[in-house]
Structure 1
Amino acid sequence: MSLKVGIVGLGIMGGSFAKNLRNDNFDVCGYDIIDENIDRLVSMGGSTAESPKDVADKSDVIITSLPSIDAFQSVMTGTDSIKDANKDGLIVIECSTLPIKEKQSAHDVLADTGTVLLDCPISGTGAQAANKDLSIYVSGDQKASEKCHDIFNGFANLNFYVGEFGNGSKMKFVANHLVHIHNVASAEAMVLGMKAGLEPETIFNVIKAGAGNSRIFELRAPMMVEDNYDEATMKMDVWQKDMKVIGEFAAELRCPVPLFTAGTDIYRSGLAKDMDKLDTASVCRVLEEMAGMKRN
């Protein structure tokens, strides 16, 4: 019998997890503070819950995808939280990008109730999540992770067990460090080409076929070509949280990250220009302004 899956956080990522798990015929129960996200789950054939505790009561395994430390703490250990279910044998697949110390604290609290928290950050954008084109960096209790194998395959095409609890987050920080740089580098290349008189669509098609290509260029450059960032696969304000987490991680290790630091200034310029709800590809617009460009 397949495990019953609960999802807390049904936004861009969690909503795609739910859709793909439903497509694989999993029973999915979900909770979100936004009614529109709940309605979307119901339209897929999923069921709803009244709180994170209610999700835990109705599920064998819970997936959490949350935007902030406050949301994470509320879901894990707050009022009507997963902790309050006090459910022995429950497994929580925690997919958010957050400081390791926050996850470790929740891991320890939940362990006292018999719940196993796995640290399982996701590598991929919202667009990739919709197509199940994701990698999961699984860390923590190995036996619990093995029980979740079919669930991992239900919402991602790759999963890697990377060892002790917290290693998943460390791997995610390294991966997002590269995403951060590749996105700005893609925008910089597009602006350089356009400033030189090349058509943006031509730049995309030619670079995509050569050694300068990257997965991020393929995903984000089409938005840069159209100068349209409204349908965000990763919003600037959410990415701001990731930048802070990665910056603090590098600082704690006393590891130099000069390219990451330079890129951060570009993202912050976009946030200062009220681009917070746009896709992170909108850094291209920031660089165009810096270059004195104005598209027709």
Structure 2
Amino acid sequence: MPETIGFIGLGIMGQPMAHNLRKAGFPLIVHNRHPEVTEQFIAAGAQAAKSAREIAAASDIVITMLPDTAVVEQVLSGPDGVIEGAHDGLIVIDMSTISPVATRALAALLAQHNVSMLDAPVSGGDKGAIDGTLSIMVGGQKETFTRCLPVFQAMGTTIVHVGDHGAGQTVKACNQIVVALIFEAISEALVLGSKAGVDPARIIQVLGGGLAASRILELRGATMVAHNFAPGGRIRFHHKDLGIVLETARTYGVSLPVTALVDQMFASLELRGRGDLDHSALLTYLEDLSSHRIGSG
């Protein structure tokens, strides 16, 4: 009998992830602040709960996919939260991107209530969530990871146990450094090439066939050229993630000078009202600096 999954947080990423769990045959209970989304899941055969406490009481595994550390803490340990509905043997899998330090504290708190926790943030964007091809980096006890492996396999294809509690979030921080800096590099290249008179679509074509090729270029190159910034990963969330990165770097005495610079670029874009655009809209920051929109001649 498949484990009953309680899923909290049905946003851009959470919604397709939960659908893939349902398609894989897991009994699903959902909780979300937008009733129209919940109704879609009910129509597809899932159950709904009115609170995180209610979900925890009825589930074998609770998955959270939430915006930030504060919201995860509230859902897990706040009033009417998961802990209030916890039972022996319950597993919490937090697939949000939050602080590694907070993750370790939450894991210790949940353990006091005989609840195991895995931190399992993801990479792959909305397309990976829809296709079930996410990369999932998992921190926590190995035996808990092994029990939950079929759950992860319903949502992703690269699933790696990277260490103890907080290790998943640490690896996600590393991932967000690379993604942010690649977006910035692609943006510089497009603005330079376009202002010098080269068709940006041709630039993407050439970069994608050489050493500069990347998954980000493959997935977002054409949409950047088209100025299609419908969000797969929002600027404001990536800015939040880089805050976690820099906080972690300070904790361990690591210098991340270029990451700090891109963090400020995201901050500037948020101040300009672009926080809900896709993080590839970092391109617009570079366009503003050079007073040039790519492809405009």
Flag whether TM exceeds 0.5 (same fold).
yes
Match of 2:49 in 1: 49
Q: CA deviation at 1:208?
A: 1.2
Output the CA distance in 1 between the equivalents of 2:283 and 2:141. Answer: 42
Match of 1:241 in 2: 240
How do 1:252-271 and structure 2 match up within 5 A? 252-271=251-270
TM-score by length of 2: 0.95
Deviations 1:132-188 (A, max 9, x none): 121111111211111111101001112111121111111111111111111111111
Match of 1:135 in 2: 135
User: Do 1:180 and 1:263's aligned partners in 2 also have CA atoms closer than 8 Å?
Assistant: yes
SS at match of 1:162: strand
Are 1:276 and 2:275 an aligned pair? yes
How do 1:1-296 and structure 2 match up within 5 A? 1-229=1-229, 231-294=230-293, 296=296
Deviations 1:27-49 (A, max 9, x none): 11111112233233234332211
User: Do 1:8 and 1:31's aligned partners in 2 also have CA atoms closer than 8 Å?
Assistant: yes
Q: CA deviation at 1:84?
A: 0.4
Q: CA deviation at 1:2?
A: 0.9
Higher mean alpha-carbon deviation, 36-45 vs 79-88, is at 36-45
Output the CA distance in 1 between the equivalents of 2:252 and 2:57. Answer: 40
Q: Which amino acid aligns with 1:97?
A: T
Q: Which amino acid aligns with 2:249?
A: A
Q: CA deviation at 1:276?
A: 0.9
Q: CA deviation at 1:24?
A: 1.3
Q: Which amino acid aligns with 1:212?
A: A
Q: Which amino acid aligns with 2:100?
A: I
User: Do 1:139 and 1:162's aligned partners in 2 also have CA atoms closer than 8 Å?
Assistant: yes
User: Do 1:61 and 1:93's aligned partners in 2 also have CA atoms closer than 8 Å?
Assistant: yes
Output the CA distance in 1 between the equivalents of 2:137 and 2:290. Answer: 38
Identity of aligned residues (%): 30
Q: Aligned in 2, Cα 1:219/1:43: closer, same or farther, shift over 3 Å?
A: farther
Output the CA distance in 1 between the equivalents of 2:198 and 2:42. Answer: 47
Higher mean alpha-carbon deviation, 103-112 vs 89-98, is at 103-112
User: Do 1:183 and 1:220's aligned partners in 2 also have CA atoms closer than 8 Å?
Assistant: no
Higher mean alpha-carbon deviation, 42-51 vs 84-93, is at 42-51
Q: Name the Cα RMSD after superposition.
A: 1.4
Query: Is there any run of 5+ residues in structure 1 with no aligned partner, and where?
Result: none
Q: Which amino acid aligns with 1:115?
A: V
- Equivalent pairs counted in the alignment come to 295
User: Do 2:243 and 2:263's aligned partners in 1 also have CA atoms closer than 8 Å?
Assistant: no
User: Do 1:122 and 1:172's aligned partners in 2 also have CA atoms closer than 8 Å?
Assistant: yes
Output the CA distance in 2 between the equivalents of 1:271 and 1:97. Answer: 19
TM-score by length of 1: 0.95
SS at match of 1:212: coil
